[in-house]
Amino acid sequence: MAKQTTTQKPTPLQGFNESSTPLSKSQQQQATTSTPFQDLKELLTPLSDSQCVTYKHEVLICGGRYQRACYSYHTLKNEYKIICHYPSDVQLYGHCVVKLVDNNNKDTNQITLLSFGGSKHARHTLVMKYVNAWSNDNDNESNILNKYNQWIPFTDNHNHPIQIGRYNDEYVGVRAVIGGRNNHLLFITYSPKNISVFDLNTFKFIKHDTLPTNNYINFHCFVSKSREQEMMKTNEEKNEQNYRMLLFCFETGLSMEYDENNNTFQFHQLSVCDNLKPFFQYAYVCINDVILFFGGYDWHKEVVSKSVHKYSIRENKWITFQNTLPSPLHSCVAILSEDSTCVHIIGGYSEKNKIVPTHVKTKLYLWDVPHLVCLFK
């Protein structure tokens, strides 16, 4: 399909609000002149290359580059609370955190996080069982005794420590997603151009492959197809057990399908917006059929971007928005709120190569992205 790139203003400039009700003339004028980003309370400390997950009304911020502190941001209170610190022997640099899926656990009051990555000489693999840090029922002493809200070694069924990554695997700027028919597979993409599949049930790698690219892959965009698309699959498609993912980094755009029955990958080239080709280290988030990209870094020209781009997976179409981030950012992180109505953008480097405590959010409807509340409850 031919590459398509257009420029578009966000939806409010077209005269509609979040519920698709026409805006008044004064509201339209306000939307035209105001920024689509809302400033939130600054981070407790400046952070770059952080990793975040959502849990109910919380955004869990799990460390950053050379920053071991982990804390919870409460979306209703607009406040932060320290959860814990990574162990003192862990050096964080380009790590990855994912939320594990336990199909047998019916306890909705806790989640399990997996953290791994870093330099091949200083990798870590840790887990945390997290419970609401804002509840009065969970005092610190109880959490410590019960191994909640702290990072502990990742172990197998016999309590043997497990390290994710082979001896020479370089996991700085690693990215990962959870997938497979039972959400038991960890798909890992990392430099220089690698993809691996780790079975979380057997605690073993079951596949290693090479990405068809000429670019060095790290601090990149790596997402799975959305939940809505998975739900809309036909029975025939589900029986094929193909899991679909997308990757973007510099000039590389890839769609990949993993055949779980045959343990094989198929790769397809995707277009990349010309404006985005020089960049990596952007924040990104995948919603429904859309990926939003915020900022980024061009290391050849040492340029920091404040642009916002949108990629339509179904149409293979790019849009560059006229509205931008309040200031240039790279090495920031974007996370979709639990109710799927807005995106939080956290931390990063400014154009002066300074780590910032920035925390802003933006409504999805401003970027012409429908919210998916019904799918995530």
With contact defined as beta carbons under 8 Å apart, do 113 and 128 qualify?
Answer: yes
Q: In whole angstroms, how far apart are CA 166 and each of 34, 93, 194, 228, 288?
A: 49, 18, 12, 34, 34
Q: Is residue 9 part of a domain?
A: no
- Extract the tokens encoding 239: 């029986």
Q: Sign of the C-alpha dihedral, residues 261, 266, 271, 274?
A: positive
Is the sign of the CA dihedral 120, 247, 357, 113 positive or negative?
negative
Predicted pLDDT at 242: 87
Structure-block tokens of residue 243: 């899991």
For position 15, what pLDDT does the model report?
Answer: 28
Computed on alpha carbons and rounded to an integer, the radius of gyration of the chain in Å comes to 20
Domain assignment present for residue 132? The answer is yes
Instruction: State whether residue 143 is helix, strand or coil.
Output: helix
pLDDT of residue 21: 35
pLDDT at 333: 98
Cα distance between residue 202 and residue 52, in whole Å: 26
Residues linked to residue 253 through DSSP beta bridges, in sequence order? 248
Distance in angstroms (rounded) separating the CA atoms of residues 377 and 365 = 19
Instruction: Identify the pLDDT of residue 204.
Output: 97
Contacts for 161 with CB less than 8 Å, ≥ 6 apart: 125, 153, 154, 155
Task: Answer yes or no: is 98 within a domain.
Answer: yes
Q: Count of domains in the chain?
A: 1
Contact between 306 and 324 (Cβ < 8 Å)? yes
Kindly state whether residue 255 falls inside one of the protein's structural domains.
yes
| 18 CA to centre of own chain | 24
> Do you find a cis peptide bond into 36, omega within 30 degrees of 0?
no
Does residue 129 fall inside a structural domain? yes
Task: Return d(Cα 166, Cα 143) in angstroms, integer.
Answer: 33
Give a yes or no: residue 40 inside a domain: no
Tokens of 34: 């105001």
- Residue 33 CA: distances (Å) to CA of 12, 14, 36, 317: 11, 13, 9, 27
Distances, alpha carbon 345 to alpha carbons 12, 36, 51, 294, 299, in Å? 20, 12, 11, 8, 21
β-strand partners of 6: 319
For the question of whether the overall pTM of this predicted structure is more than 0.95, the answer is no
Residue bearing tokens 């971007």: 305
pLDDT in tens, the chain (377 residues): 444 444 444 433 232 233 333 334 443 333 434 689 999 999 999 999 999 999 999 999 999 999 999 999 999 999 999 999 999 999 999 999 999 987 666 667 899 999 999 988 889 999 999 999 998 755 555 555 568 999 999 999 999 999 999 999 999 999 999 999 999 999 999 999 999 999 999 999 999 999 999 999 999 999 998 444 444 444 445 455 689 999 999 999 999 999 999 999 999 999 999 999 999 999 999 998 999 999 999 999 999 999 999 999 999 999 999 999 999 999 999 999 999 999 999 999 999 889 999 999 999 999 988 644 333 22
Contacts of 353 (CB under 8 A, 6+ apart): none
Q: Which residues, including other chains, have CB under 8 Å from residue 121's CB and lie 6 or more apart? A: none
Tokens 């809302």 -> residue: 38
Whole-angstrom CA distances from 129 to 176, 178, 368 are 19, 17, 36
What is the H or E stretch that residue 235 is in? Answer: helix 235-240
Assigned domain for 64 exists: no
The CATH number linked to 175 is 2.120.10
The C-alpha atoms of residue 375 and residue 227 are separated, in whole angstroms, by: 8
Range of the domain at 194: 87-227+239-328
- Write out 250-267 in H/E/C secondary structure: CCEEEEEEEECCCCEEEE
> What is the structure's pLDDT at 229?
45
Q: What's residue 120's pLDDT?
A: 84
For residue 254, is it within any domain?
yes
